[in-house]
Amino acid sequence: MQRSSSGGVLARAGLALLQRLPPETSHAVGLHALRLTRRWWRAPAASPALEVRILGQRFAHPVGLAAGFDKNGDYLDALGALGFSHVEIGTVTPRAQPGNPKPRLFRARESGALINRMGFNNKGADHVAAQLRSASFRGIRGVSIGKNAGTPLARAADDYVECLRKLHAHADYFAVNVSSPNTQGLRELQAAEALAGIVEPLQREARELAARQGRQVPLLVKISPDLSAAELSALCRALLHHGIDGVIATNSSTSIELPGPASAMVGENKGGGVSGAPLTSRALHVLTELRRELGAAFPIISVGGVMSAADAMARMAAGANLVQLYTGFVYRGAPLLAEILQALEWPRK
C-alpha cells in the first residue's frame, strides 16, 4: 500500500491503540479515525493485469472488504481510499434496528479470531440509500441485505424486496444474506424451497427495477460454512436452477470450537459466530466444493479466514473470482491489502 510517511506512522500507532480498546468501541473509533485521516492515504495503483470482469462489472483487482465492517455506508469513501476494489455495505434491513444486546463482539486473539453476535444492527435502508447517493467512491459498491429481527420467516421475502427496491439505484451488486447466525431462524432460508421463496420475488422485482432504471444489478447469495455436504450440494443445485448471479462463501461459523473461555461464546443457542483464522481451512473447502459443483464460469466471492497473502492466493488458485477481508483486516489493517496485491502481482512480473 502506498502511503505518505505520516500516514504510515498514524496507521501503525492507531492500530496498536485500537487493539487495546473493547472490540466494538475499537471498531467505531477506528472508522471515525479513518475518515479523519483519509487525506493522508493514497490508494495503490493496481496493475491492469489484476483487473477482474465478472457480474457485468469491472473490478480493479480481486480484493474487497466484506459486509459487516461498514453497516451503514457512513465510511464508504474513507474505506475506499485504502484501495479496496469493492466494499460491501451492510447487512442492511428495511427498518433501522439496534441489533442484539451488548457486549456482542469479542476478540479471541490467541486464535486469530473474532466472535460476533451483532444481529444486523443498522440504520435502515433509507439511511444507507442516502449515504450511497452522496458517496464519491468509484469502486464497486456491494450491499448485503437481510430481514428485520421482528419480521417472521414467512414474510422474510418482503423485507429483502423492500431493501432491493430502496437501494437498487445505488448498488452495483446485492448480497442476499441468508446465512448470518445472529438473526433467529435466518439460516433456515438456505434450504432449497425456502431459498426459492426469497430469490424468486427478488428476481421479479429486480427485472422490474432494471426496466425502469435502465441498469441491471446482480443478485448473489451469501452462504454458511456449516452446511453438510448434502446441504451444500442441494444449495448449489438451487443456485443454478434459479439462475442466481453468484455466491459469496462464507459467513461466520457456529460449529468451530475455540480454546479457553471463548468457547462459551459460540454456538447456535448463543448466537455467536466465529470468523478469522479458525475458519480458513473450512472456507477454502467450501470454495473448492462450490467450484466443483457450480462449474468454472459461475462467479464466486471467497471470504472467511483470509489472514495473509498466502490465504488469498490459495483462494484464487481454488477458483475464487474475488476475495474479501474482514477479520484479517481488523487484526492487520491496510498492510494486509498491500501484501495481497503484491503477491497477486508477483507471478505476472
Q: Which residues are catalytic?
A: 180
**How far, CA to CA in Å, does 53 sit from each of 63, 205, 227, 279, 313?**
13, 25, 29, 27, 18
Dist CA 142 CA 130 (whole Å): 15
Dist CA 263 CA 53 (whole Å): 41
Dist CA 106 CA 114 (whole Å): 6
In what side-by-side order are the strands of the sheet with 105-108?
105-108, 113-116, 273-276
Residue 132 is inside which H or E element, if any? Answer: helix 125-134
Beta carbons within 10 angstroms of residue 53's beta carbon? 9
**How far, CA to CA in Å, does 101 sit from each of 117, 121, 272?**
9, 10, 12
Dist CA 152 CA 96 (whole Å): 16
Beta carbons within 10 angstroms of residue 134's beta carbon? 11
Dist CA 162 CA 230 (whole Å): 32
How big is the chain by its Cα radius of gyration, in Å? 19
Going by DSSP bridges, is the β-strand pair 113-116/52-54 parallel, antiparallel, or unpaired?
Answer: unpaired
Q: What angle, rounded to 10 degrees, do the helices at 280-294 and 309-317 form?
A: 20
Among candidates 3, 22, 26, which has minimal Cα distance to 329? Answer: 26
Residue 12 is inside which H or E element, if any? Answer: helix 5-18
Dist CA 224 CA 190 (whole Å): 8
Dist CA 19 CA 14 (whole Å): 9
